[in-house]
Amino acid sequence: MKLGVVDYQFARGGAERFLLGVFDNLPPDVEVTLFSSGNALAGYHELATQSRHDIALVDKPLLMHQSAAVAGDEAVLSGPQIYDVPAEIWDGQDVVWFPWVNRHLIPRQCFPRTVATIHDLIVVELGEYMAEKREAVGRVGHFFSMAMEDMLVRRLMGSLAKVMVDAERTRDHLAKTYGPLSRLPEVVPLSTEHMREIQPAPIDDLGLPERFVLYPANYSSHKNHESLFVALAKVKESRPDAFMPLVLTGGSTPNIASGADYRGGYLKALLGHLKLEIGRDVIILGVLDDGRFRSVLSRAAGLVFPTLLEGFGFPPLEAGLLGIPVACSDIPVMRESLERHDVPTLWFRPGMPDEIAAALVRLGTEGESLRAAAAKAAAAFHDLTWAEVSAQYLQAFRDQIMMASMYDGRGS
């Protein structure tokens, strides 16, 4: 099989784990050719060195669409881009896979030989909220991205492409929003089994306190750091006996300490207003490699996850697998993921800081019993392996090749 892979975004974090999990478990007779360019291609060069499967990388520049905003006396291009994928990429490939299809404009005649993964529609579902959290140019860019993603997903869902998702909640949302669909997306949950294989690395140099609560996430507005910071301040003021410092990991979080951009400056100012001290009450570690992240997670008194919306939500499951107490947003996708593995969870509504504060108090005062319950659940934790996830994707590729051969390229 000749498998073309197209991605001009290269999202860090869980997306990298997903790609490695699928690539590493493909059989040797699958020839993988990955098309990308710019910073995304540089990311894939790094990923290819980690993968056990041979990946041929092709630098394929393409036309990109952006919005522009007038700022003062200048017209400024916004950040989000739409990637106009040329049909020639399909030449010589049996099937082409988009592991993160959002923002990719696929030629209509190529849909029958396309498999596309949608991990989430956060930019669309939380569009207005996320736009309000940005500066003027960023707001314009977000509304552009929101409108384009909605159009591209609507176009994709009405095509002959095979669509894959990580969760039933995402499948149901797509069916409700873009249906009725003649072909429902296929649900293939992601695996957390990689966490068992990661070797802990030394973290003594990080200077972590004896007890702390961990939130591993980038600082995008849907990650809801605001509510968590307000809750943390409430605990510090009203229940100092239960207070534990908050440790942040993840891309872009160092900007909270430096105030280097709009979002970082806003969150830094909020911490100051709440009288939470960076370096003491809130400790920011940024991006950690797998070994150091596992060590930090294993040391945490609990993991807190106040997200407004996710496509899957890796960190709470990884914590559950390691027997770390979890406090999490009570949203459908997280209920689906955590209850599938019977992970004991302190649930809260993400927009209610008082409920988040109550969960933090329980983590601080019931640590021993919560960790015992988490350890008991972890002993029975069984997940799909990445080999099983990859096998389901391989079958989807084969099915789409068969469907395309019957269709014979007569349009979508």
List the chain domain ranges: 2-191+385-407, 202-379
Fold of the CATH domain 202-379: Rossmann fold (3.40.50)
pLDDT of res. 29: 97
pLDDT of res. 154: 97
Residues whose CB falls within 8 Å of the CB of residue 180, separated by 6 or more in sequence, listed in order: none
Mean pLDDT, the chain, as a whole number? 95
Closest CA to 89 of 102, 105, 76, 67: 105
Residue 57 phi/psi, 5° resolution?
-100, 135
Enclosing H/E stretch for 369: helix 367-379
Can you tell me which residue has the tokens 């998702």? 165
Per-residue pLDDT tens over the stretch 327-382? 999 999 999 999 999 999 999 999 999 999 999 999 999 999 999 999 999 999 99
Three-state DSSP class for 69?
strand
Q: Rounded to whole angstroms, how far apart are CA atoms 64 and 56?
A: 23
Mean pLDDT across the stretch 376-389?
A: 95
Confidence of residue 78 (pLDDT cuts 50, 70, 90): confident
Is the distance from CB of 326 to CB of 346 less than 8 angstroms? Answer: yes
Enclosing H/E stretch for 213: strand 213-216
Confidence of residue 207 (pLDDT cuts 50, 70, 90): very high
Residue 301 one-letter amino acid: A
Residues whose CB falls within 8 Å of the CB of residue 109, separated by 6 or more in sequence, listed in order: 87, 409, 411, 412
Q: How far is CA 137 from CA 3, 94, 123, 315, 389, in A?
A: 38, 41, 16, 31, 39
Confidence of residue 412 (pLDDT cuts 50, 70, 90): very low
Query: Which has the higher per-residue pLDDT, 92 or 412?
Result: 92
In 220-351, which ranges are E strands? 246-249, 282-286, 302-305, 326-329, 345-348
Please tell me if the domain spanning 2-191+385-407 has the same topology as the one spanning 202-379.
Answer: yes
Output the CATH code of domain 2-191+385-407. Answer: 3.40.50.2000
pTM for this predicted structure: 0.94
- DSSP assignment string, 24-73: HTS-TT-EEEEEE-HHHHHHHHHHHHH-SS-EEEEE---EEE--EEEETT
In 267-378, which ranges are E strands? 282-286, 302-305, 326-329, 345-348
Confidence of residue 408 (pLDDT cuts 50, 70, 90): low
Can you tell me which residue has the tokens 């990109």? 64
Confidence of residue 15 (pLDDT cuts 50, 70, 90): confident
pLDDT of res. 411: 45
Q: Rounded to whole angstroms, how far apart are CA atoms 64 and 57?
A: 20
Can you tell me which residue has the tokens 């520049």? 61
Length of the chain: 412
Q: Is residue 113 classed exposed, middle or buried when 0-12, 13-18 and 19+ CB atoms within 10 A define those classes?
A: buried
Closest CA to 96 of 116, 69, 121: 116
